[in-house]
Amino acid sequence: MLHALIKEIHLQKSYLNNETVETIYFGGGTPSLLEADEINLLINTITELHTVSSNAEITLEANPDDLNEATIKSLRQTDVNRFSIGIQSFFDDDLLWMNRVHCSRDAEASVKRAQDAGFENITADLIYGYPLLSDTKWKQNLDKVFELAIPHVSAYSMTVEPQTALAVFINKKKQPPMNDQQSAAQFVVLMDAMTDRGFEHYEISNFCRPGHYSRHNSNYWQGVKYLGIGPSAHSYNGEARQWNIANNAQYIQVIETGKLPAETETLTEENRLNEYIMTSIRTMWGLDLDKLNSIAKASADQLLIAARRYFDTEWITQKDNILYLTPTGKLYADNIAAGLFF
């Protein structure tokens, strides 16, 4: 797999058209299983073929149980400067219910070990809106994040994917279904707690202390080009989307022939309008009507007609030429975006 990844980096060397690489993100699967020299090999391959910013944000997704003292020490010998730690919860019964390998002690210890080693730029993933999580436990999870001085949090409502074990258990009534009202109430608790602690709610699922935005994810939401390497990886060059096949064995097999295991979709004007609406309305920077007009002339006028009902319900507000979600509107972000689509 490592050999195939390196080969794809070479095959895709022209995709970004010589633009400077500002962020590198090791995500998907469990990249924290990579050895430090393997991470260095991937980073070095990128720097050989691309101009990489001297202050590039280089993130590694990691499970708490992978971040032992030896691993963190070895990662200090790489250019990784940010961890995304999949904590999910600080309660053992919740982690067991989620089939997570780590325990709450691992979660807390992994953060402290990373901080002690000099990794201060950390984001923690949390999940809310599932049956075991009372409001009291949810507040305690958030309090633990604040206690650990974690500067960035990504928090997601539990969703049930089709054909998963959880979906089967719910269908057989062995597990209760997710409760939308619980999820909405805990999202409000999340927003209030983050605001009280000085965090900025800069995207629906993302909160940070000032200056600690995820530069990588912010680029997605602001329409910056990106290149994805590996099975299931997606890429975007401003005009088209590209995605690799998901099967690991097939991915490696195709790469070995010197071909890209990818499909491509050229984006229409309507696609680009809807993409911008979907990503921008979710952020603290809002939906810029001038940018919308730069994609398609007079599109802003048409969008404002569709937005009237959201002004009436006070789900959207406008300042100058930018539309923003109100705190209540953030509860309905996906529905609002869909309602504004062309």
Task: Summarize pLDDT for 185-205 with one digit per residue, the tens.
Answer: 999 999 999 999 999 999 999
Task: Look at residue 283 and tell me whether its pLDDT is greater than 80.
Answer: yes
- Looking at the fold, whether 162 and 275 belong to one and the same domain comes out as no
* Rounded CA separation 128/94 (Å): 10
> Does residue 134 contact residue 162 with C-beta atoms inside 8 Å?
no
CATH number where 154 lies: 3.30.750.200
What residue has token string 């928090």?
155
- Looking at the fold, whether 24 and 135 belong to one and the same domain comes out as yes
Task: Summarize pLDDT for 231-267 with one digit per residue, the tens.
Answer: 999 999 989 999 999 999 999 999 999 999 999 999 9
- Looking at the fold, whether 303 and 181 belong to one and the same domain comes out as no
Q: Is residue 325 part of a domain?
A: yes
Q: Is residue 243 part of a domain?
A: no
- Looking at the fold, whether 213 and 299 belong to one and the same domain comes out as no
pLDDT band at 166 (very low <50, low <70, confident <90, very high): low
Reading the block at residue 55, the tokens are 């202050």
Tally the domains of the chain: 2
Task: Look at residue 163 and tell me whether its pLDDT is greater than 70.
Answer: no
Q: Is residue 12 part of a domain?
A: no
**DSSP assignment letter at 321:** T
Give the pLDDT mean for 227-233.
97
pLDDT band at 169 (very low <50, low <70, confident <90, very high): low
Q: Given 184, 202, 221, which residue is the final one in a domain?
A: 221
- Looking at the fold, whether 187 and 317 belong to one and the same domain comes out as no
CATH number where 297 lies: 1.10.10
Q: Is residue 242 part of a domain?
A: no
Q: What region, left, alpha or beta, does residue 237 occupy, with left being phi > 0 and alpha being psi -120 to 50 degrees? A: alpha
- Looking at the fold, whether 160 and 101 belong to one and the same domain comes out as yes
Task: Look at residue 215 and tell me whether its pLDDT is greater than 80.
Answer: yes
Task: Look at residue 174 and tell me whether its pLDDT is greater than 90.
Answer: no
Pairing relationship of beta strands 152-157 and 206-208 according to DSSP bridges: antiparallel
**What are the CA-CA distances from residue 137 to residues 64, 93, 189, 195 (Å)?**
20, 11, 11, 19
pLDDT of residue 52: 97
Q: Is residue 262 part of a domain?
A: no
Task: Summarize pLDDT for 6-23 with one digit per residue, the tens.
Answer: 999 999 999 999 999 999
Q: Is residue 177 part of a domain?
A: yes
Element (H, E) at 70: helix 69-75
Q: Is residue 253 part of a domain?
A: no
What residue has token string 């990579």?
34
Q: Is residue 97 part of a domain?
A: yes
- Looking at the fold, whether 95 and 193 belong to one and the same domain comes out as yes
pLDDT of residue 175: 77
Provide the residue range defining the domain that includes 213. 20-221
- Looking at the fold, whether 287 and 203 belong to one and the same domain comes out as no
pLDDT of residue 30: 82
pLDDT band at 173 (very low <50, low <70, confident <90, very high): confident
pLDDT of residue 168: 66
**What are the CA-CA distances from residue 341 to residues 299, 301, 311 (Å)?**
11, 13, 16
> Does residue 111 contact residue 122 with C-beta atoms inside 8 Å?
yes
Give the pLDDT mean for 108-133.
97
More confident residue, 151 or 179: 151
Give the pLDDT mean for 210-227.
94
Q: What global pTM score does this model have?
A: 0.93
Element (H, E) at 294: helix 289-295
Give the pLDDT mean for 70-89.
97
Reading the block at residue 102, the tokens are 């780590």
- Average pLDDT over the chain, rounded to whole? 95
